[in-house]
Amino acid sequence: MSLGKILLGTAITLAALPALAGEKWDMPMAYSASNYHSENGAAFAECVTNATAGDIAITTHPGGSLFAGADIKRAIQTGQVQIGERLLSGHQNENALFGFDSIPFLSPSFDDHAKLWDAAKPKIQEVLAEQNLELLYSVPWPPQGLYFKKEVNDLADMAGVKFRSYNNATSRLAELTGMLPVTIEAAEISQAFATGVAESMISSGATGYDRKVWESLTHFYEVDAWLPRNYVMVNADTWNGVSDDNKAKIAACASEAEARGLARAKEYTQFTLDGLAAGGMSVGKAGDNLMGQLRTIGETMTAEWLESAGAEGQAIVDAYHAK
């Protein structure tokens, strides 16, 4: 066989092979597929896949289906997955700064919290970079309220109640109110309340609505304690291997996701409170007596956080107040 025929045959064979597939990134998420964070993450993943023309195809795994919430950050850091979403305040044990968004009553509204995020973001990015993580975008939850299976008007009504905690702040809140903290991930909430493992929690209307907690609980008190944030992060080694062009495209998708997620959080707030009420729950503001007691506890927790976070934590709070 002549060299020309060999080369021609090789060319035909190569042409018949499928084009090389792009990178595939798995993106674990802790919350249900119907939660607005998960829906926003899915839209972000689609944006990246389309913008990079398939060079980077992201598949989301909501509901803790790939990794439990507590394991997602470590999975990204160690390269078990390329990207993921996590509530960073759940890792306050690693670094007190991760709990900046759970300081009681420091930034109780979306507008206040936006200023707090502006003050904290540079330091959070720095801490994440030290942990082999690149922050892509972050979206807040609606203001946190208290859920119970009975009427509560005073701290005495909380004594001995089993309270679902998800970070240091919620565990400490339980201790200071006389409740019993029980660590429960978001995906396990419905079962925990149905089986009596937990009887109360502090969370947004969104979480309660998504998990249909009215099947087990009866009261939601709007206390606007804080607005925790979810963060989408990518493994830094993975990120460094992305072309500058695709980095720019991913960053654009991330910027869109952050804006879209914030808008969704705002509109979802009242929608979910109405949904809790439609489910049969009593929904309304906490009484003045209870709010006064909670604010006193908030002062204690704020002082404790500032002590543990040191000068860097104080700098974040000072920058926030200066805005």
Statement to judge: residues 210 and 318 lie in one domain: yes
Statement to judge: residues 150 and 251 lie in one domain: no
* Beta carbons within 10 angstroms of residue 11's beta carbon: 10
CA dihedral 15, 18, 23, 29 (to 10 degrees): 160
Identify the three-state secondary structure at position 219.
strand
**Which tokens sit at 235?**
């493994």
Statement to judge: residues 251 and 313 lie in one domain: no
Statement to judge: residues 297 and 315 lie in one domain: yes
Tens-level pLDDT at each residue, the chain (323 residues): 443 444 344 443 333 333 346 899 999 999 999 999 999 999 999 999 999 999 999 999 999 999 999 999 999 999 999 999 999 999 999 999 999 999 999 999 999 999 999 999 999 999 999 999 999 999 999 999 999 999 999 999 999 999 999 999 999 999 999 999 999 988 899 999 999 999 999 999 999 999 999 999 999 999 999 999 999 999 999 999 999 999 999 999 999 999 999 999 999 999 999 999 999 999 999 999 999 999 999 999 999 999 999 999 999 999 999 99
Split into its structural domains, the chain has a count of 2
For 52, list phi and psi in degrees, rounded to 5: -90, 10
Asked if residue 13 belongs to a domain, the reply is: no
Nearest to 86 by CA among 105, 67, 110, 107: 67
- For residue range 76-132, list pLDDT tens digits in order: 999 999 999 999 999 999 999 999 999 999 999 999 999 999 999 999 999 999 999
Domain encompassing residue 64: 20-141+228-269
Asked if residue 1 belongs to a domain, the reply is: no
- For residue range 198-228, list pLDDT tens digits in order: 999 999 999 999 999 999 999 999 999 999 9
**Amino acid at position 44, single letter:** F
Asked if residue 11 belongs to a domain, the reply is: no
> Residue 186: what pLDDT?
86
Statement to judge: residues 157 and 54 lie in one domain: no
Asked if residue 14 belongs to a domain, the reply is: no
Statement to judge: residues 179 and 290 lie in one domain: yes
Nearest to 254 by CA among 237, 242, 272: 242
Asked if residue 39 belongs to a domain, the reply is: yes
* Beta carbons within 10 angstroms of residue 41's beta carbon: 29
Statement to judge: residues 159 and 55 lie in one domain: no
Q: Domain with 307 in it: what CATH number?
A: 3.40.190.170
**Which tokens sit at 158?**
């909380």
Statement to judge: residues 118 and 204 lie in one domain: no
Statement to judge: residues 247 and 168 lie in one domain: no
Statement to judge: residues 29 and 111 lie in one domain: yes
Are 86 and 231 spatial neighbours (Cβ–Cβ below 8 Å)? Answer: yes
Statement to judge: residues 135 and 159 lie in one domain: no
Q: What is the DSSP string of 96-136?
A: GGGGGGG-TTTS-SHHHHHHHHHHHHHHHHHHHHHTTEEEE
**Which tokens sit at 317?**
């709070």
Statement to judge: residues 259 and 206 lie in one domain: no
> Residue 227: what pLDDT?
97
Phi-psi region of 102 (alpha: psi -120 to 50; beta: other; left: phi over 0): alpha
Asked if residue 95 belongs to a domain, the reply is: yes
Asked if residue 42 belongs to a domain, the reply is: yes
Asked if residue 219 belongs to a domain, the reply is: yes
Calpha distance 63→100 (Å, rounded): 25
> Residue 21: what pLDDT?
61
Question: No. of H helices and E strands in the chain?
Answer: 10, 11
* Beta carbons within 10 angstroms of residue 44's beta carbon: 26
